[in-house]
Structures are given as C-alpha cells and as structure tokens.
Structure 1
Amino acid sequence: MVNLWNNARMQLLGQGPSSEVWNHPLPKTQQLVQEEMSGGNQVITDLFVALTIILAMGFIPASFVVYLVHEKASNGKHQQLLTGISPVMYWFSNYCWDFVNYLVPLLVCVIIFAAFQAMAYSGANLPAIVVLLLFYGLCMTPLMYCAEPLFAVPSTAYVTLICLNIFTGTISTLAILTLEAFVEELPTLMPILDFGQTIFPWTLPNYCLGRALLDIAVNHYANFAYEEFGVCVHEQGAVCFKDPLSWDVSGHYIFNLVLMAPAWFFLRLLIEWGCFLRGFKARRLARILQSAARPGEEGPQVEDEAVLAERSRVQSSARSAKAGLGDSLVIDNLEK
C-alpha cells in the first residue's frame, strides 16, 4: 500500500521513475514455532473447557430423576401402572421425553461453540462435538434412571446425582491424564493406567465425554501443524491428518456410549421387574415365616386389660357353646 501511494505521488509530480519496497520479517524463534505447532497453552485451556462441559452437562441428566422420584413418592407411578401401563412403556416414554428436553441445552451448547469460534470445538470439529453430546445424552439418561430407587426425596436425588456426575467425570479424566503424564517415569503406574483405560470408558459416560473432547482438541492442533507447516506430529507418522470422528480420536468413545445406552436402559428394566430383589425378598419372607412359626422365642407379650377381658369372655363363651349356650360362632386364640 505504501509503495502504491509513493508511485501515485511521483506520477502527479511528473516524475517518471517508480519505487518498489521489499519486506523481510524476522524469522520465528524455535519456541514460537513449537507453540504454534502444538497449540501451546491453548491445549490447557481446552482441557478446562472439557471439564466445564462435564460440569454443565452433569446437571441435565440429574434433573430428569427429580420428577421420577416425585412420582414414586406421591404414588403417581403406582397409579399409572395400575391403569394398565406396562413398565417398559412407562420408562420408554420417560426416556423419549427426557431426550427431547436434552436436545435444547445441546443446541445451546453448539450455538455457543459456533458463535465464539472456539478453535478446537468449531469448524470441522463441530460435527464430532454434536455426535458426542448426542450419544452422551442417550447414554447418561438411563444411567440416572438406575439410581431412582435409591431416593425418596426429589431434592436429595438431584443434589446427590449432580455431585456424583461432577466427581466421576472430573476425577476420572484428570486421573487418566495424570497417569499418562508420569507413566514413562514411573512404569509401576502402568497396571493402574491400563485398568482405568479399560474400565472407565465402559462404565462412566462422563469420562467418555471429557476424554473425547480433549482428544478432539489435541487432534485439532496436530492437524493444524500439518496443514500450516507440513509437519506430521501424530504418533503414527504414516497418518498426518486424522478426522475427529475417527476411531483413534473420538470414535471409540462414541462407540462405548452407543453400546452403554441400551445396556443401562435394560438394567433399569431389570430393576423395575425386581430381578435383583427377589432373593432379598425371599430371604426376608423366610425370616418372617420362621419368626411366626416360633412365637414363643419372641419373649412374653404384654396385653392390655380389654384384650384380657375379651379373651376370658370368648373362652367362657366357647365352653357355653359346647353346652348349647352362648355365641353361635367362636374364633379362639386371636392376638391383637
């Protein structure tokens, strides 16, 4: 622009020659190049973003249990089952309605990512984020249903499940990241790391959400280094660009969520049908019958005066009935 302005001035002055300007910027330092290639401190920022999403999303599935606990406490669920609604239809209808409600905060979350242009969670990575959050809601909702029998007060259920979601999501994600950072220096941590990486993805949807978000962010900066500088920083040198939905990035976490969703829902149906309580109920009934068969072992029972008076009257009436006098029907040896 400066060169064009100077040439225009010289033409107005009637001078023939023109000027040219060259710019030679200073080369970037090695530290600056490495920060641009790896994302620098932005990866740490994206980690906190992932943890924040875990905190925010932990409130939504927990809120679905509040109405269910209220229905159980007020016998609303019992009345629906008495009218002929099957347990499968009851839980499936709640599942569909809660998932529709879950789509609203999911849409808001996606709009926020797109509006603020978060580097790792927008653009080409946005479809992966949408799919991940979608299946997280499908999996987390029936998991919260499984905790419904443990509560009788809706507010207690809400607060407890929120704390449980936040704790399991943040602690599991940070624990695995910490173990991965120190496992090379301390090889004795490898069994613990393997155990966590094997168990957490199949039991904790919160871990799948947080870890998948972080892996998407790391993959974004690795792809950025290849696109901008032509440097392949992935662990597998043959693959320098990975799709965020690929198996190595977020694909296996989404796969775990897809399989866990029907598993948790089927577990809730088993709890509804009493499959895990039949043995407990049978043992309790056996103890009750045994105690009823041996009433003398319970110790002497104190009877009030009215019971004693009625007992003596019935016994005398029974003797009179044998003689053809007194009450026509006598039921003896009843206890109050």
Structure 2
Amino acid sequence: MFNNFALNSPVLVLSIVDSLLARLSTKTNLTFHVTNHPLPPNSADNLTNQNNAGGPALILGYAVIVSMSLAVAAYTNFLIHERQTNSKHLQMMSGLRPLTYWLTAFIWDSVCFLIQTALFMVVFALFNVKEYVDNANVALSLVMFMLLYGWANIPFVYSLSFAFKSATKGYTMIVVYNILTGMIGKITVPIIQQAADDESSELSALIFSIFFPTFNISHCFSKIYTNEYFRKACEKVDCSVGFLKQTALMCCGSDDELLYSRNILRDVSRRGLLPYIIILCIQGFIFWLPIIIIEHMEQISAFCTRFARNSNKISDSNSEV
C-alpha cells in the first residue's frame, strides 16, 4: 500500500551525504551502511496526527445515528395503531383529556428510553470504548446527552406520527427520515471542514443540530470521543518540564491553545458542547407545539371563527356610524 510518510528518506539522504564527504576527504571508496530503527511515536506525535481520533469518532457517530433512529421511531407504533383502530377516539369520548393521554405515553416511553440508555452504556463497556467508559464524568455526560435527545426527539416523532395511518409504514419512514437527516449532516460537516475552515464547519454543525436532533446527538458523541482521546494523550505529557511547557502548547498551553476542552459541557467554543445542550433543551419544548395544536384544532378553529365574527360586527358598526 502507498505510504506518504517518507520515514526512510532522512536516513538515506544522510548516508549518501556522509559517504560523499568521506570519499572526498579520504580519496577512497568508503560507504556507510545505516539502519533505521525509529522509536515508537510519543504523545506529541500522536497529537500531531489528529486523524487518529477522527476515524473512530466518525464511525461511532454513524452507529449512534442508526441505533438512536431505530430506538426512538419504535415509540410511534402504538400511537399510530391506536389512532388506526379508533382506540384513541374511544378514550377521548370516554372523557380522557389529551394532556393525560400524551403525558402517560411520554412517561412510559421515557422509562423505556432510560432502559435503552443504560443498555447503550453496557455496549460501550463490553466493547471497551475507553474514551467513553474509563472516566465516570464522560459516561455521565453521554447519559445526559441521550436523555436530552429523548426529551427532544420523542415529541418530534410523536408529531410525525400524525402523518401516517399504518404503524409499519410510519415506523419505517420515521427511521429512514432520522437516518438520512443524521447522515447528511455527518457527511457534510467534515467536507466543509476540509474545504473551508473549522469555524465554517462548526456553524454548519449548529445549523444541522437546530433542525435535526439525531445529527445533534451524533455530533456530540463524536466530539466527546475526540476530546477524551486528546485529553488522555496529553496526560502523558509532563507539563512541569520547562522545555515541554514551551513546546507542547497543545497540551500545556492556554485554553485557546489546547487540543481539548477542560470542561466540554460548559465550553461555548467550537470544542465545547454547551450550544448543543441548549438546542436540545429548547427543541423539547418546541416539538410539543405541533401536538398541542393538532389536539386542540377544534378549539382553535372555534376561537378563530368567533374572532372573525366579532371583527365583522365591529367593522359593520363602524360603517353604520
């Protein structure tokens, strides 16, 4: 396979130069034979090659998109089936209020999602994803993000369920929608980063996160992995050594110079996740609005009708005057 790292070139060039100088000085055909035995890459070398963390982080992001899409879309099956069989209509006719209906559904689905969140962490532990399970704070951060995703995306799939009359079709289409919207952002953001700069890619990631919660959690998982990878690498650098403190700024410098964020949850820069947390919190409230509007459509229509009639009466009175 092609290797664009010319590890042997410096040694070969040095051997040729030394041989030529020796021949010129001694007037003999001296030849130096050299062997290259490079030391294993140190922490600074690993940090320089940032692609070491990019590959696994990207793959984990794709896995989160697919798994979360399958998990959350399943909560619409029961809702669509109840509406299809008129079971929900009978409950409403019996005096059940829409608030009670949706609140009980959300509580039950939240409990199920909490169990799925625990299983996700078990999977990470079984496969020994060290960046996710070695640090308790990182593991709790992942749990928090998954719960925030449930808070935001469960009402979102509830809203999408009104567009389908078949539970099977609804589940399939919602899964496809979540996967496609997550994958599009996951592919687009790295391309923008390579073509433009980090600021442009971060802006595009924020835009995708505002509209697509599945991309949001995938991007957060990737960022947490990359941040923890660099933090672990920097732990091996002794910043108390004066020489390293001056040269290894990526590990020993200021907050702006570091490759990782010391507190990723509170960081508002491109390395932090605070904007994404705020987006998920707000989305949870916004995605309930379509459900409220649909369930109270008759009351809203009646209010609009009364308002229109009152406006007509006022205009007629003004015209008579």
Fold shared by both chains (TM-score > 0.5)? yes
The 8 Å contact of residues 67 and 154 in structure 1, kept in 2 or not, is answered as yes
* 2:265 aligned to which of 245, 250, 269: 245
- The partner residue of 1:126 within 127, 131, 139 is 139
CA distance in 1 between partners of 2:113 and 2:158 (Å): 15
Q: Distance in 2 between matches of 1:238 and 1:42?
A: 15
2:250 paired with 1:233: yes
Residue 78 (structure 2) pairs with residue 71 (structure 1) = no
> Residues 286-312 of structure 1: CA distance to partner in whole angstroms, max 9, x if unpaired?
xxxxxxxxxxxxxxxxxxxxxxxxxxx
Q: Mapping of 1:182-221 within 5 angstroms?
A: 182-184=195-197, 190=200, 196-221=204-229
Question: Which AA in structure 1 matches 2:160?
Answer: A
Separation of aligned partners in 2, 1:140 and 1:94: 14
What does 1:151-300 correspond to in 2, within 5 Å?
Answer: 151-184=164-197, 190=200, 196-229=204-237, 230=239, 231-233=248-250, 236-237=256-257, 241-248=261-268, 249-274=272-297, 278=301
| Native 8 Å contact 2:250 2:258 kept in 1 | no
Distance 1:272 1:223, change over 3 A: same
**Superposition pairs for residues 51-66 of structure 1, below 5 Å?**
51-66=62-77
- CA distance in structure 2 between the partners assigned to 1:211 and 1:128 by the alignment: 14
- Residue 113 to residue 244, structure 1, CA distance change in 2 (3 Å): farther
Q: Which residue of 2 aligns with 1:102?
A: 113
CA deviation profile, 1:174-202 (whole Å, cap 9, x unmatched): 211211121149x9xx5xx5763443222
Paired residue for 2:160, among 118, 141, 147? 147
State TM-score, norm by structure 1.
Answer: 0.67
- 8 A Cα contact 1:62 1:162, kept in partner: yes
* Cα distance change, pair 223–200 in 1 and its aligned pair in 2 (3 A): same
Say whether residues 1:82 and 2:115 are aligned partners. no
* Cα pair 1:68 1:148 within 8 Å, conserved: yes
- Who is 2:4 aligned against? none
Which one is further off, 73-82 or 116-125? 116-125
In structure 2, the partner of 1:308 is none
RMSD over aligned Cα atoms: 3.0
Indicate if the aligned counterparts of 2:43 and 2:233 stay in contact, CA closer than 8 A. Answer: no
Shift in alpha-carbon separation, 1:61–1:276, aligned structure 2, 3 A: farther
Contact 2:84 2:165 in 1 (8 A): yes
> What percentage of aligned pairs have identical amino acids?
21
How many matched pairs?
251
Q: Which runs of 5+ in 1 are unaligned?
A: 1-25, 283-336
Residues 240/163 of structure 1: CA separation in 2 closer, same or farther (3 Å cut): closer
Shift of 1:208: 1.0
Specify every segment of 5 or more residues in structure 2 that has no aligned partner in the other structure, as ranges: 1-36, 240-247, 306-321
AA at the equivalent of 1:242: R
- Match of 1:151, SS state, is coil
What do residues 115-151 of structure 1 show as CA deviations (whole Å, max 9, x unaligned)? 3321222222211111111111111100001112110
Q: 1:276 to 1:170 in 2, by over 3 A?
A: farther
**Whole-angstrom CA distance in 2 between matches of 1:245 and 1:117:** 23
Pair 272,114 (structure 1): closer, same or farther in 2 beyond 3 Å:
same
- How far did 1:265 drift? 1.6
Q: CA deviation at 1:258?
A: 1.4
